[in-house]
Structure 1
């Protein structure tokens, strides 16, 4: 395996220490339990050993990666594709067209990434042969158990008869790992303590009444201003309610929860990443395992019932030695064992000024990788034909049949006008603001 050329494709110099330790420990096909914080690079830590185990000209699925969420599956698929190997990879997850997945499995991929429920469906329907799998990865295993995937995972693992290496990853220490995982003489690699520089998180209570809760949140958003913020709710309807309020107030925001279509969720994360929106309103779905940037403020519009969920939500801020602020919107009646009574209070009275608009807006382009379009093509198109300056173009994400590009907000309408009748790589494309 040519590591140097893969590093180049991934645009990294080398593996980090955690990835090196995992790669070395996995050398002898030993079972591994990798404990490392969210955002530390666990995906590459298990993908390098997975890749080393793959054999060319072998029929059937060779590696299975089970994950608790579809976003995580798509993220891992993206990273694997970025490694630029000749091995086929497929994903399967709830909400994805089963026919497409069955077709992809007809000519079995070397690597299959999926959520437990959907992989169970394919195993039960004999859409692929589980006995050809040699490497099993259980990513974010603690989260998968938390979400109730115990039975599906037990069924899937029970059908794997040829596994020679198992890699389990978790962001928390696990007291008891269920026996159904099949781990034997596993080596535990823990980077939890070594990375445990106490994050500088400032907790603040924002006291309110049930009737005033939405208004209090609006005042808090005005006080926080134009900083990147995650607003956590326990329920989808609360996410939608807050989204509607902020939309009415003219504040750019995105929403993210399990009731949304997959492409809607992907678009929301994309716009949060590229600075088209600096507020993401979400359920606990965004607390872990997603590719979203560092945030400066966390708002608990509804506090979770368990401390674990509270900790994971807060883990989205104060990374990389930065300071983070966590606001708890609470009523006098609410009591949580994990919230200290002496937590300082924050007043939001009198804050009504809408935060200034985000620097970018996202433009949708109806062409992607399958049209042989890449980032360089898009930059050239926007600068030469759209007459933009280099600094007017932000993050570009090219997908299979579509692309999304962040463009300076004050230039969006003029660039759309200029490109109305222009062609991208000789092809007429549709361009519009991505909503």
Structure 2
């Protein structure tokens, strides 16, 4: 991930690095704390079944003064990283780069914002420089935005050499992508759905280069390998079916939350291959940023929009760059329309938008032209936006791991960050599950001389309710967030 001015964080990473021998089978890397985590929110105490596999950390001991040269990184790559202000390796980079260079498959677990992209890009580029063949590496990632971010980082790191990366994602011209694939690029960064579509429809001449891939990277591997509704496994299996067998390629899995599905890689037969390198660093068992302040506000479901509007406008928060997470696209759309009509500088990121709008909106937020980003979980994974000061969970995720990814958008690279979760009447069990998962309770939101509930009653109920009705009508009439009728909708009304 982008690591501008992160020397303070990296020094902290070295101190926190946790290297331990294999744990007994009965121990759990993510075990529930011995003392129960008591929430300030009254909740039904339901016992949560452990859902973690033991983590074996095989990484070698490191020196406190490690740099990229000490990891045997090529001088040209060291200079390229230095030009990007990446001068000291983080814990995950120190652990994984030497082992990947030895030819080992890797499972790397590290909390968000610790430079996992550099951890796999550097050894891939070094190996490619030794033998610059056709499609050398395939990097798969769950979202278009993360694929674009990795593509830009690979281009930046490889600037001194003639590396040709390409991007294969939905929302772009499929015919041009097929031409790019057939031109034998060096690195392909893709989302599984679009690449699987090419494999099924574009013909052998297009995908032939994939049959000689040396490296396969699954970034945010827990999401790619997750079963259940909306699973990417069918498309992922299609992608892997045209690649060399696991014994003839290196497979690298990186994630902030190591799940049993990720750890299942260890069980695959490996004739003639070195043992898989498995490590987990910089997580402190919790995978949440150490300087994150987690808080909650109890808000009636019928008035959550009022509480959100007041929270965004308090003296402490009025200038903060903020991401608001929703569970559904419809909710995100409504909040974007509503908050804009209430005077907030807001944009949105979700699957209901055209790809060009998604890219433009994210760029607006990164450039701080918009202070608030309303998003679904497509923005929860991997995106590196250093200036995010506040994350608001408008809807609470069902999976505590999704909560970890959401709040990981703030407090990155050693910075201080805040998260606020709006808790409705039916949400307390979800909050309790999150507290069990992260091993820490949320604090009641407090701001000096500010009563959120009082401001809602006094200032927000009437205007927010009126603006919500207007926003819903605007959406129903097919108007965009600026109040203009969308293209293709003009002739619907006579």
Q: The TM-score by the shorter chain falls in which range?
A: 0.7 to 0.9
- Given that 1:296 and 1:323 are in contact with CA atoms closer than 8 Å, whether structure 2 keeps it comes out as yes
In the alignment, what sits opposite 1:189?
A: 279
How far residue 259 of structure 1 moved from its aligned partner, in angstroms, is 1.2
Q: Which one of 206, 211, 215 corresponds to residue 131 of structure 1? A: 211
In the alignment, what sits opposite 1:282?
A: 375
Looking at structure 1, the residues matched to 131 and 414 of structure 2 have their Cα atoms a distance apart, in angstroms, of 46
In the alignment, what sits opposite 1:296?
A: 389
Residues 20-41 of structure 1 deviation map (CA, whole Å, 9 limit, x = unaligned): 3322111221111111111111
Q: Which has the higher strand share?
A: 1
Looking at structure 1, the residues matched to 283 and 167 of structure 2 have their Cα atoms a distance apart, in angstroms, of 33
- Given that 2:136 and 2:213 are in contact with CA atoms closer than 8 Å, whether structure 1 keeps it comes out as yes
Q: Does 1:212 align with 2:303?
A: yes
Judged with a 3 Å threshold, the aligned counterparts in structure 2 of structure 1 residues 194 and 231 are, in CA distance, closer, same or farther, namely closer
Q: Which has the higher helix share?
A: 2
How far residue 333 of structure 1 moved from its aligned partner, in angstroms, is 4.1
Judged with a 3 Å threshold, the aligned counterparts in structure 2 of structure 1 residues 8 and 121 are, in CA distance, closer, same or farther, namely same
Judged with a 3 Å threshold, the aligned counterparts in structure 2 of structure 1 residues 54 and 345 are, in CA distance, closer, same or farther, namely closer
Whose RCO is larger (CA < 8 A, sep 6+)? 2
Structure 1 gaps, min length 5: 354-435
Looking at structure 1, the residues matched to 134 and 118 of structure 2 have their Cα atoms a distance apart, in angstroms, of 23
Looking at structure 2, the residues matched to 334 and 15 of structure 1 have their Cα atoms a distance apart, in angstroms, of 40
Matched residue of 1:113: which SS? Answer: strand
Residues 174-199 of structure 1 deviation map (CA, whole Å, 9 limit, x = unaligned): 33434599684211122144696863
Q: Which one of 118, 121, 142 corresponds to residue 194 of structure 2? A: 118
Judged with a 3 Å threshold, the aligned counterparts in structure 2 of structure 1 residues 69 and 325 are, in CA distance, closer, same or farther, namely same
In the alignment, what sits opposite 1:144?
A: 224
- Given that 2:110 and 2:282 are in contact with CA atoms closer than 8 Å, whether structure 1 keeps it comes out as yes
Looking at structure 2, the residues matched to 344 and 194 of structure 1 have their Cα atoms a distance apart, in angstroms, of 24
How far residue 169 of structure 1 moved from its aligned partner, in angstroms, is 0.8
Q: Which one of 197, 203, 221 corresponds to residue 312 of structure 2? A: 221
Matched residue of 2:124: which SS? Answer: helix
Give the count of matched residue pairs: 353
Matched residue of 1:128: which SS? Answer: helix
Q: Which one of 350, 353, 362 corresponds to residue 260 of structure 1? A: 353
In the alignment, what sits opposite 1:99?
A: 175
TM-score, normalised to structure 1's length? 0.74
Looking at structure 1, the residues matched to 333 and 93 of structure 2 have their Cα atoms a distance apart, in angstroms, of 39
In the alignment, what sits opposite 2:62?
A: none
Q: Which one of 47, 50, 54 corresponds to residue 121 of structure 2? A: 47
Looking at structure 2, the residues matched to 14 and 320 of structure 1 have their Cα atoms a distance apart, in angstroms, of 13
In the alignment, what sits opposite 1:157?
A: 240
TM-score, normalised to structure 2's length? 0.65
Judged with a 3 Å threshold, the aligned counterparts in structure 2 of structure 1 residues 110 and 230 are, in CA distance, closer, same or farther, namely same
Judged with a 3 Å threshold, the aligned counterparts in structure 2 of structure 1 residues 134 and 183 are, in CA distance, closer, same or farther, namely farther
- Given that 2:324 and 2:394 are in contact with CA atoms closer than 8 Å, whether structure 1 keeps it comes out as yes
